[in-house]
Amino acid sequence: MGADAGGAMPPADLPESAILPAVSKPSPSKARPSISIVGPGNLGTALALTLPSAGYDVKFLATRHKRAHVRALARKIQAQLVAPGEQALTTDIVWITVPDDAIAGVARLLARSQEWKGKLVFHSSGALTSDELSPLRAKGARVASVHPMMTFVRATVPEMAGIAFAIEGDATATRVARSVVADLGGRAFVIKGQSKVLYHVFGSFASPLVIALMASLEQVARAAGIRQSEIKRVMEPLLSQTLRNYLNQDAASAFSGPLVRGDVATVRKHLAELRKLPEARAVYVALARASLNFLPVRNRELLEKELKSAERAVKSIRKP
């Protein structure tokens, strides 16, 4: 992700019809706040496309990099494209969707660019609190962190309906944020500021670290002689059923394989073959260790012995 006031890496340059679904402008009868989005990257684009359908007028898109897809987005939703800090954002809400490292700098830039008393400012970091917006709070704005528990990647614009949003900040800002989330069809819940980092870790386990696991899976599949083009086809039924089992039951009920059976000989063979793939072996050992700690397994002591031996081998490989 690019850490600038233009937001995260944007969706790929595709035809407008491919990345910009039709959106309607709010009807005059809906008295909902107007919104500016600062940093129309992956998340900012998704918000810009879904908020109008919920009755919100997105008036400004603020970005330093007016790429073709951003210009197309502005045309699509009839928003004005501006540079952050160079023009007053005359909306009720300013929603900052730049990468985490850029939020504080953007807040300082915006704080000295216009009057903020009576305005609401959100940011959407999962790990950072509303205190990142303290320069704007000091100028009279009411601020909140409003984080959707969803993955936003290039060329994909997920629906907001059903998404959980963690909200933290000033009372007025959080109240309005909950209303906006409800209008989007999402589910808002309050998170304590001191809990945000672990909340974000929770989300990391649910998405990016799962993808890291998939990358390790692909490495092992290729080593087993499965063509790259066939890996997803081979694994999709197993992955899909595993996820369904977990969502419909719980982790213990969805757990299967050699560890739950206590098949020490098979685990030993796995570890021996994985010496050829030390990175994947380290992932296997770490996840097997988590299985012993949190899930039902048989022959726990013998499996513990195998994992300790493998962990020593991993440590010796990593030593300089």
Say what the pLDDT of residue 8 is.
41
Q: What is the mean pLDDT of the chain?
A: 89
Domains of the chain (ranges plus CATH)? 16-194 (3.40.50.720), 206-318 (no CATH)
Task: List pLDDT tens digits, range 153-195.
Answer: 877 778 899 999 999 999 999 999 999 999 999 999 999 999 9
Q: In 3D, which of 320, 252, 253, 264 has the Cα closest to residue 290?
A: 252
Say what the pLDDT of residue 65 is.
85
155: left (phi over 0), alpha (psi -120 to 50) or beta: left
Give the Cα separation of 16 and 74 in Å (integer): 11
Say what the pLDDT of residue 154 is.
76
Tokens linked to 248: 């419909």
Name which residue leads in pLDDT, 279 or 317. 279
Please tell me the pTM assigned to this model.
0.85
Does 33 score more than 50 pLDDT? Answer: yes
Task: List pLDDT tens digits, range 264-295.
Answer: 999 999 999 999 999 999 999 999 999 999 99
Task: List pLDDT tens digits, range 35-90.
Answer: 999 999 999 999 999 999 999 999 999 999 888 989 999 999 999 999 999 999 99
207: left (phi over 0), alpha (psi -120 to 50) or beta: alpha
Give the Cα separation of 143 and 137 in Å (integer): 6
Say what the pLDDT of residue 273 is.
96
